[in-house]
């Protein structure tokens, strides 16, 4: 995670989350012409870390990352993987909590995710 993303999150992060600054700021500066600071820093860091997966929910930013041949996933993808790996017993309560924030998810996507994990 970049310092910019951590700042946008605005809450205390667990100790296991590593904060890493983008070394080549020129990538980030260019990306900031079309994306937000957090998304730009995440993509720029993804370009610097071989075989990384950029966690990004913004559709425009995800398209930019994919155009740069970066692997991407979103928050929902992480939750599905956590459920499949047994780190989470049930996704329904987590998704309900997520919906209480400004995170937007359509009913169609919600139903598909719950179907994928057998809930």
Cβ atoms of 95 and 88 within 8 Å: the answer is: no
Cβ atoms of 117 and 80 within 8 Å: the answer is: yes
pTM of this prediction? 0.84
Question: Over 90: is that where the pLDDT of 29 sits?
Answer: yes
Question: Over 90: is that where the pLDDT of 9 sits?
Answer: no
pLDDT of residue 27: 92
In whole numbers, what is the pLDDT of the chain averaged over residues?
93
Q: Which residues 6+ apart lie within 8 Å of 93 measured at CB? A: none
| Residue from 50, 46, 42 nearest 6 by CA | 42
In whole angstroms, give the CA distance from residue 56 to residue 43: 9
71-85 pLDDT, tens digit each:
999 999 999 999 999
């Amino acid at each position: 995670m970049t310092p910019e993303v951590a700042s946008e999150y605005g809450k205390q992060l667990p100790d296991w989350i590593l904060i890493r600054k983008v070394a080549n700021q020129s990538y980030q500066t260019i990306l900031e012409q079309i994306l937000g600071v957090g998304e730009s820093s995440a993509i720029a860091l993804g370009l610097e870390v071989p075989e990384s997966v950029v966690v990004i929910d913004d559709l425009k930013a995800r398209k930019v990352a994919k155009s740069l041949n970066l692997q991407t996933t979103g928050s929902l993808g992480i939750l599905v993987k956590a459920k499949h790996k047994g780190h989470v017993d049930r996704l329904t309560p987590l998704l309900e909590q997520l919906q209480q924030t400004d995170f937007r998810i359509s009913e169609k996507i919600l139903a598909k995710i719950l179907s994928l994990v057998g809930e």
